[in-house]
Amino acid sequence: MSSSTISVDGKSVELPVKEGTIGPSVVDISKLYGQTGMFTYDPGFTSTAATESKITYIDGDKGILLYRGYPIDQLAEHGDFLETCYLLLYGELPTAAQKADFDYRVTRHTMVHDQMNRFFTGFRRDAHPMAIMVACVGALSAFYHDSTDISDPHQRMIASMRMIAKMPTLAAMAYKYSIGQPFVYPQNGLDYTSNFLRMCFAVPAEEYKVNPVLSRALDRIFILHADHEQNASTSTVRLAGSSGANPFACIAAGIACLWGPAHGGANEAALKMLEEIGTPDRIPEYIAKAKDKNDPFRLMGFGHRVYKNYDPRARIMQKTTHEVLNELGIKDDPLLDVAVELEQIALKDEYFVEKKLYPNIDFYSGITLKAMGFPTSMFTVLFALARTVGWIAQWSEMIEDPSQRIGRPRQLYTGSPERDYVTVAQRG
């Protein structure tokens, strides 16, 4: 193992360098504080590897995304979402028999405890579905005590199956509740994504036939969103899990973090931005706002902490958008016209070129999901549904790591030095 030397206050400290399979090496600074009394400082974790992982690899400069070594475009093209779930969880693509068994095991957990229905009557009909998801996923730990002991691999596996299987059911329930329609129970004879579409859009009054083109497109969208290395919500799940919290609570924490508009909430924010722009002639006004340092407005769905090239998922997303709009006979979607024109202008603009800002996965997803019939408020719920397997795979990897300890970052303190109490009478 090679090493690096840093000099602190004239004292040289040797730190080991660890090599990865591919991608940047790391300087192991875990002994730095003990040897120097100093911390490193990296508030946004722009240069910090918080863990070792074998699950997902991103090369931001080249626009590469691999799940367990397989390129995202190949998985999206040839596989299905449950196959991707198996790959992320177990590290290898399943054989036909393994896939059939995995699909069967997930399918057997699609229903939720019937008393969960009562949670919904406590929410206002206009509650944001992400608020409902945070509440209900966290509440799963109140029902499934037989899968909260994280030291038991079998219980961890059952909890994982339950979350992958129940997220679509809870997401569909949140949607149905928001539109005042009765919940639709899962149909285990349908595939994972067709089952979800039926739970969202079927009504008791008539037969519902799943459109296979839309089901395939949404299944592919789930694959694109399944995992993404140590992003904010995954890091939240890992940190929550490092304290020994039960898996349902950890995933609820991940959902809460994903909700932010800088993260998974960007798909909802991006669509609202396109609707606000409205027509291509207003694009220059918004590009100017995005470039104005005094204006907090940002182009939602643009930019990424890691990708300084085109997000490979955005390309596949754009192709899927056209596929869905064609299937639905939507010839000219004004939102798509604005999005395509905005992308073309931004990618030629000096500001975006210099800052390496490209469309990310959230830029086109909203147009597709809206065309499928989902309200804007459900977009991040669908992101959370798909990302649940990534959170679980990363959480499991951490729990199974024998060197795992509770995560406890330190700080640079710039507050008041020690001072004595002053009574209210002395405060003037």
Which string of x and - marks every residue 25-64 that binds ligand SDX (by CB under 6 A)? Answer: -------------------x--------------------
Distance CA 383, CA 389 (A): 11
- With tokens 């799943």, the residue in question is 210
* Sole window of 7-15, 145-153, 174-182, 261-269 interacting with ligand SDX (rule: CB under 6 A): 261-269
Q: Contacting ligand SDX (CB under 6 A), which of 300, 339, 369, 399?
A: 300
Q: 3-state DSSP call for residue 47?
A: coil
Number of neighbours of residue 306 by Cβ within 10 angstroms: 18
CB distance 159 to 152 below 8 Å: no
Could you say whether residue 263 binds ligand SDX (CB under 6 A)?
Answer: yes
* Sole window of 86-94, 111-119, 215-223, 302-310 interacting with ligand SDX (rule: CB under 6 A): 302-310
Nearer to ligand SDX, 241 or 264 (CB): 264
Nearer to ligand SDX, 112 or 251 (CB): 251
Nearer to ligand SDX, 231 or 388 (CB): 231
Could you say whether residue 304 binds ligand SDX (CB under 6 A)?
Answer: yes
Could you say whether residue 296 binds ligand SDX (CB under 6 A)?
Answer: no
Least Cα distance to 162 among 104, 115, 83, 109 occurs for 109
Distance CA 207, CA 152 (A): 43
CB distance 16 to 30 below 8 Å: no
Q: Contacting ligand SDX (CB under 6 A), which of 186, 303, 312, 366?
A: 303
Could you say whether residue 220 binds ligand SDX (CB under 6 A)?
Answer: no
Could you say whether residue 360 binds ligand SDX (CB under 6 A)?
Answer: yes
DSSP H stretches of helix in 91-211: 96-107, 117-121, 129-139, 153-178, 192-201
Distance CA 154, CA 156 (A): 5
Could you say whether residue 231 binds ligand SDX (CB under 6 A)?
Answer: yes
Burial class (CB in 10 A: 0-12, 13-18, 19+), 338: buried
Distance CA 74, CA 78 (A): 6
Could you say whether residue 301 binds ligand SDX (CB under 6 A)?
Answer: yes
Nearer to ligand SDX, 2 or 294 (CB): 294
Q: List beta partners, residue 7.
A: 12
CB distance 212 to 222 below 8 Å: no
**306-325 residues near ligand SDX, rule: CB under 6 A:** 306
Active site residues: 304, 362
* Sole window of 236-244, 247-255, 298-306, 364-372 interacting with ligand SDX (rule: CB under 6 A): 298-306
Could you say whether residue 386 binds ligand SDX (CB under 6 A)?
Answer: no
Could you say whether residue 302 binds ligand SDX (CB under 6 A)?
Answer: yes
Q: Contacting ligand SDX (CB under 6 A), which of 172, 214, 290, 382?
A: 290
Number of neighbours of residue 142 by Cβ within 10 angstroms: 13
* Sole window of 20-28, 165-173, 320-328, 360-368 interacting with ligand SDX (rule: CB under 6 A): 360-368
Distance CA 304, CA 315 (A): 15
**Minimal distance, residue 193 CB to ligand SDX, in Å:** 19
* Sole window of 161-169, 172-180, 260-268, 407-415 interacting with ligand SDX (rule: CB under 6 A): 260-268
**114-173 residues near ligand SDX, rule: CB under 6 A:** none
* Sole window of 101-109, 143-151, 263-271, 365-373 interacting with ligand SDX (rule: CB under 6 A): 263-271
Nearer to ligand SDX, 87 or 299 (CB): 299
Could you say whether residue 355 binds ligand SDX (CB under 6 A)?
Answer: yes
CB distance 236 to 253 below 8 Å: yes
Nearer to ligand SDX, 198 or 263 (CB): 263
Distance CA 64, CA 359 (A): 14
Least Cα distance to 248 among 133, 85, 373, 99 occurs for 133
Number of neighbours of residue 78 by Cβ within 10 angstroms: 10
Rg of the chain over all Cα atoms, to the nearest angstrom: 23
**Minimal distance, residue 223 CB to ligand SDX, in Å:** 12
Footprint of ligand SDX (CB under 6 A): 44, 228, 231, 262-264, 266, 290, 298-306, 355, 357, 360-362
